Amino acid sequence: MEAAARVIARRGVRGLRVEELAAEAGVSTALIYYHFKDRTGILRATLEFISDRAERYTTERETGAQPLDARGELEQTLLLELQDTAEVRENSAAWGELRASAVFDPELREDLARATLVWVQEVAELLGRVRPMGGAAALAGSAERLTALLEGLSVRWLSGSLPLAHARELMAGAIDAELQRLR
Amino acid sequence: MEAAARVIARRGVRGLRVEELAAEAGVSTALIYYHFKDRTGILRATLEFISDRAERYTTERETGAQPLDARGELEQTLLLELQDTAEVRENSAAWGELRASAVFDPELREDLARATLVWVQEVAELLGRVRPMGGAAALAGSAERLTALLEGLSVRWLSGSLPLAHARELMAGAIDAELQRLR
DNA sequence: GTCTATATCAGGATAGAC
DNA sequence: GTCTATCCTGATATAGAC
């Protein structure tokens, strides 16, 4: 699965060559087909893998780091997705591609919608901790906007239309605006 | 070019088959290669085509319609991109795909960054008409957020993670929040 | 400008041995 | 579980006639 995430981040979903994946994982193509029914099976498993991994690295804090307040948690969770480390870049690129390919291929749409919902709810929950009086609908709306914006900024960054630092500033500004709105 | 926009909207950039494009346009594949150097040439021309077309349909107002105020212009410009008409859907799908494919293929990055900048500046200008006292940097930031959000919402819509009506509500809410912020 | 025909090649998927 | 070898389809790009 790590190899799959790497290859998809490097070539895209539509550029994924099973042979390249096999080489990256150090096995034969036949073995890939032994473990996964077909290309789609590989993609489905990779989507789950990167969702879990993102969940992990946005949630975990280094041991010894002082605990963050609610707003800090929120900012961390969203801004951590805009970082130039191998793991995050891989995750962002692969997530964006799975999203983009679902426009033309319905097969992964359900899995993707489910994963999106989980993510939106997480962010809504964090927003709720900063604004305990915020209504559920308003929190959900803000969470949808913030996560959709993050996807938009992320692909602009990765496609070379927006420097990473600027993307981060814009994201921080949006968090600010949504919290104002929920006041 | 119309055929190219249709095919890219139907199959994606990576799913574009020159043969299918040729059939859609009612000509042979060889003729496509006579007019465009290669696949990339087709894509580059299509990007320009859809940029111009979007410029047109977000700017033009029906003859006889009463003129909109500044805020109405702004809302129209952004919300018109979230509509289920053939032309808009085609444009959104193709634009999103050109963006997504640039993550893995650098060839169109410059053209895309340029087209993005033009769009952001247009929106910043409209924002400036609603908030004449807004500083240039603040207006630019808001425009970047709004357009990036639109891209994010658009791909969620087209990939089946978000109903169109809801996407429109979220967009309207964001316009609201940004105008608050610029007050 | 436009076509038919085709060279050429890459990549998904599987057969069958170990 | 894992490999080697290969079938077969489908796609880009070009040659050459009209």
pLDDT, tens digit (0-9, with 9 covering 90-100), for A96-151: 999 999 999 999 999 999 999 999 999 999 999 999 999 999 999 999 999 999 99
Give me the total of CB pairs closer than 8 Å, taking one residue from chain A and one from chain B: 139
pTM (two decimals): 0.96
- In sequence order, the 6+-apart residues with CB closer than 8 A to the CB of A153 are A82, A162, A167, A170, A171, B148, B152
Closest Cβ opposite residue B151 in set A152, A173, A176:
A152
**Contact between chains at A96 and B103 (C-beta distance less than 8 A):** yes
| Portion of chain B with pLDDT greater than 70, in percent | 100
How far apart are alpha carbons B153 and B175 in whole angstroms? 13
- Nucleotide nearest A37, CA–C1', reads C13
Q: Distance (Å, rounded) from C-alpha B174 to C-alpha B87?
A: 24
Helix B136-158 × helix B164-181 angle, to 10°: 170
Question: Is residue A19's beta carbon less than 7 angstroms from any atom in nucleic acid strand C?
Answer: yes
Q: Is the CB of B38 under 7 A from strand D?
A: yes
**pLDDT tier, A65 (very low <50, low <70, confident <90, very high otherwise):** confident
Torsion angle, alpha carbons of B64, B66, B72, B73, to 10 = 50
Closest protein residue to C2 using CA and C1' atoms? B31
Multiple choice CATH, B46-181, 1.10.357.10, 3.30.70.100, 1.10.600.10, 2.40.110.10? 1.10.357.10
Q: Give the residue ranges of DSSP H helices in chain A.
A: 2-11, 18-25, 29-35, 39-59, 70-79, 86-102, 109-130, 136-158, 164-181
Structure confidence by residue, pLDDT tens digits, A10-37: 999 999 999 999 999 999 999 999 999 9
Q: Give yes or no for CB of B10 within 7 Å of strand D.
A: no
| Whether the Cβ atoms of residue B14 and residue B101 lie closer than 8 Å to each other | yes
How do the domains of chain B map onto residue ranges? Answer: 46-181
CA-CA-CA-CA torsion for B86, B92, B94, B100, nearest 10 degrees? -160
DSSP 8-class letter at B1: -
Residue nearest to nucleotide D15 (CA to C1'): B30
Query: Which sign does the torsion angle of CA A150, A70, B162, A93 carry?
Result: positive
pLDDT tens-digit readout, B66-75:
889 999 999 9
Secondary structure (3-state) at B36: coil
Q: What is the pLDDT of residue B61?
A: 84
Letter for the amino acid at B141? G
Average pLDDT, chain B: 95
